[in-house]
A and B are shown apart, each in its own frame.
Chain A
């Protein structure tokens, strides 16, 4: 099995959920609808033998504008990793169904994506920040994130007079 077969099977099974394929280099990806990501990953896991998820994370596209969650389900059977991307509106806290109960590896990856991008994974068993402090304000990997001047009374920028941290 290769990427083309996976795409054809997904397209036949989910005509509304699988939107299009993008033949980017070096690896193509499949654009999917966020609402059907659980059904698609369940089908991939149970029918197409994608036993694990290699990666899950977020991307910020201020030029589209969109926030993206990407999934890399991986198959030991076919020695194959495919990339799925779900595009969400670029707003304060967009929502997408959690897949932590489908792939256990996705648990902490979804927490990290929530931590860095401010995407809510509906149904996640433990939706807390994982890297940043719990009282941190903002989502650091968004392109419009501004580093705060102070955190808990500690100055954050290197050059205190210049909050941008640029050398003088």
Chain B
């Protein structure tokens, strides 16, 4: 016998958004000192796993979140673009730290630094700080989850929500 109040009514869209936002799989991808803070975020004290975001994958084929943690040199920028294109849709990018936001301390004299990773991949959430504390990265993940929950999931699955290729 099924009790009459056991039916949950929702839309496919909401289920997809709920699932995606709470099972973000980041790419294991540290470029500089921000990566140390990212590791601390994933470790026991700050425990990124609480937000369903702690499964760091070693291949872009299995990841849907790229945390660009560190200085993006010009040599690395084309590799970042390749890694981003290898990730399956839907995918999101967090730019962590001043260097990947806007060049950081290399903003004026850094001949070898890309002045912002948003020049090669679209960024969803920017995290300020040099490096940001783990709490800041956690807040960025929470903000990204909020953002995913207001996107249209079915369109995102088709790759129609990306801002630019």
A and B part of one assembly: yes
- Give Cα distance in the complex from A151 to B109, angstroms: 15
CB closest chain-A residue, reference B77: A154
Contacts of B103 in A (CB 8 A): 158
Query: Would you call B96 an interface residue if the criterion is a C-beta within 8 Å of the partner chain's C-beta atoms?
Result: no
Mark contacts of B29-53 with chain A using CB atoms, 8 A cut-off: 1 yes-contact digit, 0 otherwise: 0000000000000000000000000
| Given A152-B74, A165-B109, 5 extra CB contacts under 8 A | A140-B111, A151-B74, A158-B115, A166-B108, A167-B108
Q: Would you call the interface of chain B mostly helix, strand, loop, or mixed?
A: loop
Contacts of B120 in A (CB 8 A): 154
A148 to B74, CA, bound (A): 12
- Residue in contact with B108 in the complex, picked from A140, A148, A154, A165, CB distance below 8 Å: A165
Chain A proximity mask over B61-75: 1 for CB below 8 Å, otherwise 0? 000000000000011
Of residues 107 through 156 on chain B, the ones whose CB sits less than 8 Å from some CB of chain A are 107-109, 111-112, 114-115, 119-120
A29 to B128, CA, bound (A): 45
Shortest distance between the CB of A142 and any CB in chain B (Å): 11
Name the CB-closest residue of A to B75. Answer: A133
Chosen A-B contacts, 6 in total, with CB atoms closer than 8 Å, are: A131-B112, A133-B74, A140-B112, A152-B74, A155-B115, A158-B115
Taking a contact as CB atoms closer than 8 A, the residue among B112, B114, B119 that contacts A132 in the complex is B112
Contact in complex: A152, B78 (CB < 8 Å): yes
Question: Is B91's CB within 8 Å of the partner chain A?
Answer: no
Are B119 and A154 neighbours in the complex by a CB distance under 8 Å?
yes
Q: Residues of A contacting B75 with CB < 8 Å? A: 132-133
B74 touches A154 (CB 8 A): yes
Chain A residues with CB below 8 A from B119, complex form: 154-155
Q: Is B102 positioned at the interface, with any CB of A under 8 Å from its CB?
A: yes
Smallest Cβ-Cβ distance to B114: which chain A residue: A154
Q: A133 CA to B109 CA in the complex, in Å?
A: 18
Interface centre among B75, B77, B109, B119 (most CB of A within 10 A): B75
Indicate which residue in A147, A152, A155, A166 contacts B111 across the interface (CB closer than 8 Å).
A147
